[in-house]
Amino acid sequence: MLHIVSLSKAYGKRVVLQDLSLRIPPGEIYGLLGANGAGKTTTINILCNLLRADSGTVEVCGQRLSERTKPLIGVAPQENLLYRSLTCEENLTFFASLYGLRGKNRAARVWECLKDVGLADRAKSLAETLSGGMQRRLSMAIALVHQPKLLILDEPTTGLDIEARYEVWELIRHLQTQGMTVLLTTHLLEEAERLCQRIGILKQGRLLAEGTLAELRRLIPAQEVVVVQTSEEARAIDRAQSLGFPWRRYGGDLAFWLPETLELREIITRFDGIPLESIARQPIRLEHIYLELTQH
């Protein structure tokens, strides 16, 4: 569906993409992760023909990127680009017209999109009266109105409350069941864990790693993470190092990597003599993988 080979882009001496290559097969949700400035937006702009790469190639549905591939791509940008004084139906009708839809075909497609995103009952409502989650769903409907093959979602749930976020996640999963291919950028690691079949991690324009969550977990030499609270952190760290347990800090919390899964009693025994106020066991999550790749 999408094939990127050795994509590079620089603004003067500032390199924003370095030899980026990735392939997304039809029907997959692919998550592209990275901090601000990692190159996610530049990649999207190149795919949308808004920016020209310095080198590399992009193919969509087997076609080299060009004006002819634009109808194959739908984009829901991070900011909802809605006409707030128009109704949901009017917003969709306007954007459908830009893609050349006319008459009965346009009306049928607008209604189909409203149903797909769960807004059929709000067709006559002004966009400005919709909740944040509804506005996001309308933005996604606009990206889908011309029936693209590839849907690009840029930070689809940024700024939404938890209920609205779940609604958008459900919609994305629904679109996948209909065969849609999705490229999703997000800062929410839980979002990537729940939605994406494969994940790529960008830093300074370079793809550090990609794969399924199971494949990415194998990059961390640990079976689980143990987070502890203790008044004697220095002693705990010394003991962990003597045991061969690497230590890290996650949000200020002291954590140890365990190379094998141990019973809680065994873990406590290993730290005998050191006061442990609390201890929590965690599986290797995307958070741990992401931080390890981008910070260490």
- Phi/psi of residue 82, each to 5°? -110, 150
pLDDT at position 1 is 85
User: In the prediction, which pLDDT does 296 show?
Assistant: 67
- Judge whether residue 118 has pLDDT over 70: yes
Show Cβ contacts of residue 116 under 8 Å, excluding neighbours closer than 6 positions: 141, 144, 174, 175
Task: Please check whether residue 22 is in contact with residue 210, taking contact to mean a CB–CB distance below 8 angstroms.
Answer: yes
Residue 4 has pLDDT above 70, yes or no: yes
Helix ranges (DSSP H) in 145-281: 162-177, 189-195, 213-217, 233-243, 264-270
pLDDT at 67: 87
pLDDT value, residue 81: 84
Mean pLDDT in residue range 270-279? 92
pLDDT, position 161:
86
Q: Which domains does the chain have, with CATH numbers?
A: 2-217 (3.40.50.300), 224-295 (3.30.70)
Q: Which residue bears the tokens 């992401």?
A: 290
* pLDDT tens-digit map of 193-207: 999 999 999 999 999
Contacts of 39 (CB under 8 A, 6+ apart): 9, 16, 17, 20, 202, 204, 205, 206
What average pLDDT does this structure show over 92-99?
Answer: 93
Distance CA 8, CA 18 (A): 5
Distance between CA atoms of residues 195 and 179, nearest Å: 15
pLDDT tens per residue across span 47-82: 988 899 999 999 999 999 988 888 899 999 888 889
Question: Is a pLDDT exceeding 90 seen at residue 37?
Answer: no
Q: Burial letters for 44-61: b for 16+ Cβ neighbours within 10 Å, e otherwise? A: bebbbeeeebeebebebe
Q: Which pLDDT tens digit goes with each residue over 155-207?
A: 988 888 888 889 889 989 999 999 999 999 988 899 999 999 999 999 999 99
Tokens of 76: 């829901």
Q: Count the neighbouring beta carbons within 10 Å of the beta carbon of residue 234.
A: 9
Q: How far apart are CA 240 and CA 80, in angstroms?
A: 48
Q: Which residues of 149-176 are buried (b: 16+ CB within 10 A; e: fewer)?
A: bbbbbbbbbeebeeebbebbbebbeebb
C-alpha of 196 from chain center = 7
Which residue type occupies 51?
Answer: L
Average pLDDT, integer, range 241-247:
94
The two structure tokens encoding residue 161: 């409350």
State if pTM tops 0.85.
yes
Please choose, from the candidates 189, 186, 266, the residue with its C-alpha nearest in 3D space to the C-alpha of residue 226: 266
Cβ-based neighbours of 137, under 8 Å, separated by 6 or more: 117, 118, 119, 167, 168, 171
Q: What's residue 94's pLDDT?
A: 95
